[in-house]
């Protein structure tokens, strides 16, 4: 069953973005994932929460593959890099 990793990003310092974006897509693909959303125009239709600076939606073949991506040792230094200049709410959701 497909699984979706959804992130809401708040950027404090954008200097991490280019080196992060250069490496993460290959890691996503390594675990069978693909980007469904990566940035783009946003608007609020309901609610009062402020829009994040970015939203990402990744689709993986399964929860196990999504967890393998996030826990991949190659991803660990990239997580630290991203955390150095941003805050991310990142959730994993099983699809239907």
Domain spans in the chain, listed from the N-terminal domain onward: 3-41+52-94
Check whether 87 has a pLDDT greater than 90.
yes
Measured CA to CA, the distance from residue 3 to residue 54 in angstroms comes to 20
DSSP sequence for the chain: --EEEEEEEEES-GGGHHHHHHHHHHHHHHTT-EEEEES-----SS-SPPPPSEEEEEEESSHHHHHHHHT-TTTHHHHHHHHTTEEEEEEEEE--
pLDDT value of residue 63 = 98
Q: Report if pTM > 0.85.
A: yes
34-80 pLDDT, tens per residue? 999 998 899 999 999 999 999 999 999 999 999 999 999 999 999 99
According to the CATH classification, is domain 3-41+52-94 in 3.30.70.100?
A: yes
């Amino acid at each position: 069953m497909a699984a979706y990793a959804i992130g809401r990003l708040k950027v404090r310092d954008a200097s991490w973005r280019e080196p992060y974006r250069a490496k993460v897509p290959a890691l996503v693909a390594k675990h069978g994932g693909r980007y469904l959303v990566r940035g783009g125009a946003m608007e609020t239709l309901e609610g009062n929460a402020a829009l994040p600076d970015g939203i990402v939606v990744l689709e993986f073949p399964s929860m196990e593959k999504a967890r393998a991506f996030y826990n991949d040792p190659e991803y660990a230094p990239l997580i630290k890099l991203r955390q150095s200049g941003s805050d991310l709410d990142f959730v994993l959701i099983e699809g239907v």
